[in-house]
Amino acid sequence: MSVARVTEISSTSTKSFEDAIQQGVERASSTLRHVQSAWIKEQQINLDDGKVVGYQVNMLITFILEDTL
C-alpha cells in the first residue's frame, strides 16, 4: 500500500506554457522523491505594455511518501 501527498507549485517562463511546466516538473523532481504526476490547475500570461512577457502555470504535484520503517 502507498500513500501520496499533493502539493501546489507555481512556475514561470519567458518562452511558453510548456517550458514553464517542464521547468516546474524538473524542479519538483529534484526536490521531491517519487513524483508521480502533475495536474495543471491554472495558466496565466504576464503582460507589459500589451505584450506577453511571461507565462505562469500553477500545478498540483503528486508524490509518494516513503515508509518510515
Of the CA atoms within 13 Å of residue 48, those in its CB half-sphere come to 4
User: For 35-59, what is the mean pLDDT?
Assistant: 97
We report the CATH number of the domain holding residue 8 as 3.30.1660.10
Q: Is residue 69 part of a domain?
A: no
pLDDT at residue 30 above 80? yes
The DSSP call for residue 41 is: E
pLDDT at residue 69 above 80? no
Write out the residue range of the structural domain in which residue 9 sits: 4-64
Share of the chain above pLDDT 70, in %: 99
Q: How many domains does the chain have?
A: 1
Name the pTM for this structure.
Answer: 0.87
How far apart CA 52 and CA 43 sit, in angstroms, is 13
Q: Is residue 20 part of a domain?
A: yes
User: For 11-22, what is the mean pLDDT?
Assistant: 98
Closest CA to 59 of 18, 3, 4: 18
pLDDT at residue 5 above 90? yes
